[in-house]
Amino acid sequence: MVYDVVSAFKEVVMRLAGPLLAVTMAASVGVLAQAPAATRAGVQTPTFSRDVVPILQRSCQNCHRPNSIAPMSLLTYDDTRPWARSIKARTETREMPPWFVDRTIGINRFKNDISLTDQEIATIGKWVDAGAPRGNPADMPPPAQFPDVTAWQIPNPDLVVTTDEARVVPATGPDWWGNIVTADAVTTEDRWIKSVEVKPVQGFKAVHHIVTSIVSPDDPRALADSGDAGGTLSEYSIGKNGDAYDEGTARLLPAGSKINFNVHLHSIGEDTPVKGAIAFHFYPKGYQPKYIMRAHLLGGDTEQMLDIPANTDNVRLDTYVGLAFPSVITQFEPHMHNRGKAMCLEAIYPPSKQAAFSRNGGTKSEILSCVDRFNFGWVRAYEYADNVAPVVPAGTILHMISWHNNSSSNKINYDPTNWIGFGNRTIDDMSHMWLGYYNISEEEYQQRIAARQSHPTEQQQP
Ligand code: HEC
């Protein structure tokens, strides 16, 4: 636990919400890929070939390989050996791999989890302390296979839309924000989206973010289906993965839609042409989804009130939104800027529904998840594993709490003597969370809660 405010807060919440947590969580330890070799680490000195490579393959090499986004390759022993100390340091502090969810509270099973177990971190530490031995090359697992770095991460894109012309970011100059709308419609028929991904296809180093949305003036369904966030589709920031909706769950891309790319660009010392693109994978034509995916910008209406005094740590902002229908929360994506420190998502339940959750007398609220080491360099969407994705009753209030650190203890603070408020510039700050969710019927809500309660083994807290 890294700082006081959240730790104290967590203790209170854990006491209040203990029984309830058990219902919506599943065991997070040891279920996801554990290198079998790691279990032998206690008796033998870990070696690169036998114990470390499986960890690197699962959690590091997708970025740490030639022409990917990381500065060095971790594919071979010779590539990795010079970085041994740095690897130990970065994994011990959980700065690498970039995964910033607090493992001590809330739901801790995610579809796209690349984080290391405590045991894996210990294996790396022991390997480095023993002089980072190669071991027997015959112990090496076969090389891991990765997609081409220029390839889309979502499977089988059916439609790729690129911004019409490149926008040149000058070598030096202020940041630029703006909307770039495609001149033409991108589809002539209604299509249901299964997965979507946004990225720069040119000049990616000058791109801070790209937020895409559906522009559908003559079809209000696009807006109605997407909650308060208008037609917002998907966001790119450095390191972001695509968005894949659960089977049976879809967003509509109505016939005649254009795509708006809202971009934030910054100068990087040379004139840089930038182009963005969005890729869609659709359900088959004629498909009728069971659930309609919604994207809500939680905090978008309160972050303008950010009021962060100079030289101050743990500046807290709260925001609330009510859910009119029973809902399944599929993912969250915190967004702040350089002073951002932590963010939690809490569910506050309506009194009449408390009993439906608890086996031990009911409770009012629970922390669903926290990010306790927010890192502005990485924007990540955390996707809940299906059997632990929060299923919440109609009338639930979602409560988001953010903390900012505007003191000198924040290493990337430009100037702690400045007051900071909301703004688009990188030196201003923000406090919002993209929330992915879909509504279910009251009947289905009851069924899902009953199903969860009848599988106690999946509900134990780690
Ligand atoms: C999602 C992509 C990604 C993954 C996964 C990832 N890294 Fe990195 N890593 C980066 C990037 C980008 C940087 C450079 C920027 C930074 O330091 O944050 C970096 C930096 C580092 C550094 C610091 C290098 C230096 O200059 O000192 C180390 C060490 C490192 N990573 C180790 C690891 C290890 C070990 C893993 C797996 C356990 C891992 N990384 C997983 C992208 C990744």
Instruction: Look at residue 375 in the predicted model and tell me its pLDDT.
Output: 87
Instruction: Look at residue 357 in the predicted model and tell me its pLDDT.
Output: 52
Where residue 9 falls among pLDDT bands split at 50, 70, 90? very low
Instruction: Look at residue 8 in the predicted model and tell me its pLDDT.
Output: 39
Asked if the structure places residue 42 within a domain, the reply is: yes
Residue nearest to atom 12 of ligand 1 (CA): 70
- Mean pLDDT on 72-82: 97
Of residues 372, 400, 370, 378, the one with CA closest to residue 2: 372
The alpha carbon dihedral of 135, 137, 140, 146 has a sign of positive
Atom of ligand 1 nearest to the CA of 55: 38
Q: Same domain, yes or no, for 245 and 330?
A: no
The one-character DSSP state at 261 is E
Atom of ligand 1 nearest to the CA of 377: 18
Backbone angles phi, psi at 399, to 5 degrees: -120, 120
Distance 384 CA to ligand 1 centre (A): 24
Phi-psi region of 203 (alpha: psi -120 to 50; beta: other; left: phi over 0): left
Q: Write the pLDDT tens digit of every residue in 349-374.
A: 887 665 555 444 456 888 999 999 99
Asked if the structure places residue 447 within a domain, the reply is: yes
Q: Same domain, yes or no, for 211 and 332?
A: no
Residue nearest to atom 14 of ligand 1 (CA): 70
Q: Write the pLDDT tens digit of every residue in 402-418.
A: 999 999 999 889 899 99
The alpha carbon dihedral of 462, 331, 301, 341 has a sign of positive
Asked if the structure places residue 153 within a domain, the reply is: no
Distance 338 CA to ligand 1 centre (A): 19
- Tokens 């669903």 belong to 368
Q: Write the pLDDT tens digit of every residue in 159-175.
A: 999 998 899 999 999 88
Contact 83, 167 (CB under 8 A): no
What is the domain count for the chain?
A: 3
Residue nearest to atom 13 of ligand 1 (CA): 70
Q: Write the pLDDT tens digit of every residue in 206-247.
A: 887 888 888 876 644 444 333 333 467 887 765 566 888 888
H-state helical runs in 310-461: 354-357, 442-453
Asked if the structure places residue 146 within a domain, the reply is: no
Contact 172, 85 (CB under 8 A): no
Of residues 312, 313, 306, 311, the one with CA closest to residue 335: 306
Q: Same domain, yes or no, for 309 and 438?
A: yes
Where residue 339 falls among pLDDT bands split at 50, 70, 90? very high
Distance 53 CA to ligand 1 centre (A): 15
Q: Write the pLDDT tens digit of every residue in 276-329.
A: 999 999 999 999 999 998 878 899 889 999 999 999 999 999 999 999 999 999
Question: What percent of the chain stands above pLDDT 90?
Answer: 52
Instruction: Look at residue 70 in the predicted model and tell me its pLDDT.
Output: 80
Distance 59 CA to ligand 1 centre (A): 10
Where residue 461 falls among pLDDT bands split at 50, 70, 90? very low
Pocket of ligand 1 (CB under 6 A): 59-60, 62-64, 69-71, 83, 86-87, 90-91, 96-98, 114, 116, 239, 377
Q: Same domain, yes or no, for 284 and 300?
A: no
Asked if the structure places residue 334 within a domain, the reply is: yes
- Mean pLDDT on 396-406: 97
Q: Same domain, yes or no, for 369 and 252?
A: no
Atom of ligand 1 nearest to the CA of 90: 29
As a whole number, the mean pLDDT across the chain is: 83
Q: Which domain holds residue 344?
A: 4-26+295-459
Instruction: Look at residue 284 in the predicted model and tell me its pLDDT.
Output: 96
Of residues 400, 459, 370, 362, the one with CA closest to residue 106: 370
Q: Same domain, yes or no, for 17 and 57?
A: no
Instruction: Look at residue 63 in the predicted model and tell me its pLDDT.
Output: 84
Asked if the structure places residue 152 within a domain, the reply is: no
Answer whether residue 268 shows pLDDT above 90.
no
Rounded distance between C-alpha atoms, residue 109 and residue 27, angstroms: 8
At which of 139, 167, 182 does a domain end? Answer: 139
Q: Write the pLDDT tens digit of every residue in 435-447.
A: 889 999 999 999 9
Asked if the structure places residue 163 within a domain, the reply is: yes
- pLDDT top residue among 245 and 421: 421
Q: Same domain, yes or no, for 254 and 175?
A: yes
Among 92, 95, 96, 375, which residue has the most ligand 1 atoms within 8 Å of its CB, making it the best to mutate? 96
Answer whether residue 61 shows pLDDT above 70.
yes
Residue 417, C-beta contacts closer than 8 angstroms, at least 6 positions apart: 310, 311
CATH number of residue 220's parent domain: 2.60.120.230
Q: Same domain, yes or no, for 21 and 76?
A: no
Atom of ligand 1 nearest to the CA of 87: 29
Distance 73 CA to ligand 1 centre (A): 9
At which of 107, 139, 171 does a domain end? Answer: 139
Instruction: Look at residue 399 in the predicted model and tell me its pLDDT.
Output: 96
Instruction: Look at residue 317 in the predicted model and tell me its pLDDT.
Output: 98
**Highest mean pLDDT range out of 66-75, 77-86, 363-372, 418-427?**
77-86
Distance 70 CA to ligand 1 centre (A): 6
Answer whether residue 113 shows pLDDT above 80.
yes
Contact 407, 356 (CB under 8 A): no
- pLDDT top residue among 51 and 458: 51
Distance 65 CA to ligand 1 centre (A): 11
Amino acid found at 47: T
Atom of ligand 1 nearest to the CA of 97: 41
Q: Same domain, yes or no, for 260 and 408?
A: no
Rounded distance between C-alpha atoms, residue 74 and residue 20, angstroms: 42
Q: Is the previous residue joined to 97 through a cis bond, with omega within 30 degrees of 0?
A: yes
Distance 124 CA to ligand 1 centre (A): 14
Among 48, 58, 63, which residue has the most ligand 1 atoms within 8 Å of its CB, making it the best to mutate? 63
The one-character DSSP state at 51 is I
Distance 64 CA to ligand 1 centre (A): 7
Q: Same domain, yes or no, for 311 and 385?
A: yes
Asked if the structure places residue 90 within a domain, the reply is: yes
Atom of ligand 1 nearest to the CA of 116: 38
Q: Same domain, yes or no, for 437 and 324?
A: yes
Question: What percent of the chain stands above pLDDT 70?
Answer: 82
At which of 254, 289, 324 does a domain end? Answer: 289
Atom of ligand 1 nearest to the CA of 89: 29
Among 32, 52, 56, 60, which residue has the most ligand 1 atoms within 8 Å of its CB, making it the best to mutate? 60
Residue nearest to atom 9 of ligand 1 (CA): 70
- pLDDT top residue among 224 and 451: 451
Distance 337 CA to ligand 1 centre (A): 20
Range with lowest mean pLDDT among 103-107, 150-154, 162-166, 393-397: 150-154
Length of the chain in terms of residues written: 462
Answer whether residue 137 shows pLDDT above 90.
yes
Distance 239 CA to ligand 1 centre (A): 11
Distance 82 CA to ligand 1 centre (A): 14
Instruction: Look at residue 363 in the predicted model and tell me its pLDDT.
Output: 61
Residue nearest to atom 10 of ligand 1 (CA): 70
Q: Same domain, yes or no, for 310 and 170?
A: no
